[in-house]
Structure 1
Amino acid sequence: MASFHIRQFQERDYEQVVDMFSRGMKEHIPTAFCHLLLLPRTLLLLLGVPLALVLVSGSWLLAVVCIFFLLPFLWFLAGQPWKNYVSKCLHTDMADITKSYLSDRGSGFWVAESRGQIVGTVGALPVKDPPSGRKQLQLFRLSVSSQHRGQGIAKALVRTVLQFARDQGYTDVVLETGLLQQGAVTLYYSMGFQKTGESFMDILTWFVDVSLIHFIYPLPSA
């Protein structure tokens, strides 16, 4: 028997939802940092700048100090895209979840609840300019608390969106997720989503090589 149930978002859930979403996004910073350290451009920076200092100043101590300054700077760079993303979400659709997701029959926001606690979320909004002849729903804000992963909550939340899309007459469900969010990427592939492309949000995400993967799930015709 499932230890959680899925229901529509209510205003009393807001603080728990925002806290879980924010913490979940920031969990990716260590992975992003390790990923950044292995990029050729980063290795060139970590080796090239200290070496240049040695050649100019003749001081190996200065080179070592430089590396100790570069590592915190790289941690900052790795974390900034995730922090920027959270800030953007909290100032746009998640500033007022009810207004953003529940004021239209064609959209929705759901939570997974376990023993009175919010342990998962997912939202969905209609795509404003879908391809000709298509009616698309975009999945947003899929998140599961770290203590409740591995229980099928994420899959159940995605299925909730897929069923909602079918009931509302959508032709496709689309979404974007970060390349480094491997758990989410694996989940979407396992549920039948198809990759349609990759992109970068801005120059910073390009520099740290954190791309977005675009997915689509075509729904069977009625």
Structure 2
Amino acid sequence: MAVGGASRTDYAPPLWNPRTLLAYVGSAPNACPAPGRKPRPSAAGRLLAGGGGGRVQRAAARDGVTWRPGSGAAERESRERTGAMGDYRIRAYRDEDYEAAREVFANGMSEHVPALCVHVLKQPWVLLVLACTFCLLLTSSKSLLLPILALTLLLATGRQLLGRAWAMYIEHCLQGDLLDIRATYLGSRGSCFWVAEADECVVGTVAARPAGAQQGELMLKRLAVRKDYRRQGVATALCQAVLGFARQQGCSAVVLNSLMVQDEARAMYERAGFEKYREDVLPTLYGRLANVTVSKYRYSLARRS
């Protein structure tokens, strides 16, 4: 199905970072040279090695390759300067990525449980309950051991309950739009799903579909990167894939939601040019008790065109 004049499966992000040349190099998407043999460079790869940046995209189109970090002199110099040493590529989702994509998202979200526990523990009413419990038990038992054991039990129980609630949220996501990725993100115009691939494994995901609240806006969703591939520019490249897709679709802005425990993600969004314009508390009993806030970000494409 064509999207904005190009096939969705053939869509690749444009050159996005003025300091880092991201280009089309390599050969077939999953081609791997035999042990001990060096891969033959494509025309795009030879252009990069020789510094022919202006002709890279045309050579890549002839080679029929996908988008990945370049390997020429300019790219090597940039990687030495920025410290981004990862070797990965961004490509459109394929059906064989289903389990790996869901696993990357679920594992990434599971990492936020400790931060969620600390956030809840800092709430005034929680501190008041713990302090009152400690004082009452200390006064009645005349012993320090019983209050300490009681608080330890309360904290352990709270940790289990929060972990279970967070696991239910992750399962809700997996049973929602991630239950049938192809139908949700590749079955309609204006939506898409990408993965970051390294060492023949899916190490990151991101999705985009029209935002329901505002006409002409695209919503960035399900951004996740495997822990051992972070701080290598993978998340930024996935974001830029969505921004490039939004430009191709003629959208005015890209919007996203981020929870208060996703500190690294929010910092990355702000570095990429997203601006926070609103912050809301989840309109549920749990959201109000735990003060779970959702930050809303926008990247205005019209202002940067």
TM-score (norm 1): 0.91
Alignment of 1:216 onto 2:305? no
1:3 deviation in Å? 0.7
Match of 1:180 in 2: 261
1:161 deviation in Å? 0.2
Structure 2 counterpart of 1:156, from 222, 226, 237: 237
1:160 deviation in Å? 0.3
Structure 1, gaps ≥5 residues long = none
Mean alpha-carbon deviation: is it higher for 71-80 or for 109-118?
Answer: 71-80
Amino acid at match of 1:181: Q
Query: 1:116-156: CA deviations, max 9, x gaps?
Result: 100100001111231xxx41111100000000001100000
Alpha-carbon spacing, 1:143–1:45, altered in 2? closer, same or farther (3 Å):
same
Query: 1:57-110: CA deviations, max 9, x gaps?
Result: 555444233212211122134434532321111111000000110001200000
CA distance in 1, matches of 2:164, 2:281: 14
Query: RMSD of the TM alignment (CA)?
Result: 1.8
Structure 1 counterpart of 2:226, from 141, 145, 150: 145
Using the aligned pairs only, state the percent identity: 37
Structure 2 counterpart of 1:31, from 106, 115, 120: 115
Structure 2 counterpart of 1:169, from 220, 240, 250: 250
Match of 1:5 in 2: 89
Alignment of 1:44 onto 2:128? yes
Question: Would you say how many aligned residue pairs link Structure 1 and Structure 2?
Answer: 219
Structure with the bigger RCO (C-alpha within 8 Å, sep 6+) is: 1
Alpha-carbon spacing, 1:83–1:205, altered in 2? closer, same or farther (3 Å):
farther
Structure 2, gaps ≥5 residues long = 1-70, 72-85
Alignment of 1:199 onto 2:280? yes
Match of 1:106 in 2: 190
1:30 deviation in Å? 1.2
CA distance in 1, matches of 2:149, 2:135: 12
